[in-house]
Amino acid sequence: MAVLRTDCEDFTTETRDASPAHLLVKIESFSLLSECGLEKYESREFVAGDYKWRLIIYPDGHRSEREGKHVSVYLAMVGTSSLPVDWEINAVFTIFLYNKIFDNYLCFRGKVRRFHAMQSEWGFSKMISKRSLTDESNGFLVDDKCVFGAEVFVIKSQRVVECVSLLKVPSPYKRDWKIEKFSKLRNVWTSEEFKTGDHKWKIFLYPDGDTEEKGRSVSIYLECVDSESFAPNEKVRADYCINLKNHIQSTEKSLNGSDWFTSSSTSWGRSAFIPIAVMRKDFIVDDCCSLHIEISVRAVVRNSPSTPN
């Protein structure tokens, strides 16, 4: 498949004393390029930003410059066979033309350009007119000698791409548990695993408390089981309500939350959910208690391909 060349004539020009950082091409007998029928001259490869490049000079203009009144210069990315199939490189490049009279360089700088498999070359089809170049009083072509140069600065990508899915759930997922032999529980009670919103969940209840609430309060947490294997930028948001039921008084103790579950925050809840004494007095019947959960997954953030579709 042919590589497309696209002109970027919206360049800016300036002069500077410092020579180009990456490439200098000294051409002697510049006029012989045309006389010998050479449509273009391709420079040696050079490295900039860890990639390989080449400067292509058209002494009578690129074929897109039909009148042949200009010199065209392009920057081409080479050695791309080792790159991924969907490679793309963003770069700012400058083409230089040495002025022997003033001992400085005329710089032609384009905008940020995206190099990829379908377009590995960018350049200027009308960089400078042949009349301006060949007029020795301008200082660019003296004794039929001229100097071109190139400078390429690759924009390193540290982009993070994520896909956010917002979910509209008509009704929450609901589930009940009866916790038996409460007085005999040791350390933690763990619910059966359940699934909603394409994710797996569990409830953890600590009858004697967790962390700083040990011995004072019952602690309770909702965990997204899948989140342990999430990538750093993956997460899921859930609205949830955990109810502890009092069958005698028909009252409830509720925990409501709306949180993001990630690989570093796999569970959310409350360490001081209810005092142990209140739990035993008002919510334990025949050494049993009842839990009810309602949960709605509202958003999922996951990894996405580097190139938007």
CATH number at residue 200: 2.60.210.10
State whether 140 and 206 are in the same domain: no
> In the listed set 154, 178, 204, which residue is the last one of a domain according to the structure?
154
Whole-angstrom distance, CA of residue 10 vs CA of residue 57: 19
Cα Rg of the chain (Å, integer): 35
| Tally of CB atoms within 10 A around 31 | 12
Whole-angstrom distance, CA of residue 265 vs CA of residue 222: 11
State whether 116 and 207 are in the same domain: no
Domain limits for position 207: 162-303
Residue closest to 22 by CA, chosen among 184, 114, 151? 151
State whether 87 and 202 are in the same domain: no
Whole-angstrom distance, CA of residue 284 vs CA of residue 289: 5
Token pair 């009842």 is found at: 290
Q: Is 248 within a domain?
A: yes
State whether 145 and 47 are in the same domain: yes
Q: Is 309 within a domain?
A: no
State whether 101 and 31 are in the same domain: yes
Q: Tens-of-pLDDT digits for all 309 residues of the chain?
A: 233 344 445 789 999 999 999 999 999 999 999 888 889 999 999 999 999 999 999 999 987 666 778 999 999 999 999 888 889 999 999 999 999 999 999 999 989 999 999 999 999 999 999 999 999 999 999 999 999 999 999 998 766 677 888 877 668 899 999 999 999 998 999 999 999 988 999 999 999 999 888 999 999 999 999 999 998 888 999 999 999 988 766 678 999 999 999 999 999 999 999 999 999 998 998 999 999 999 999 999 987 655 444
Number of domains in the chain: 2
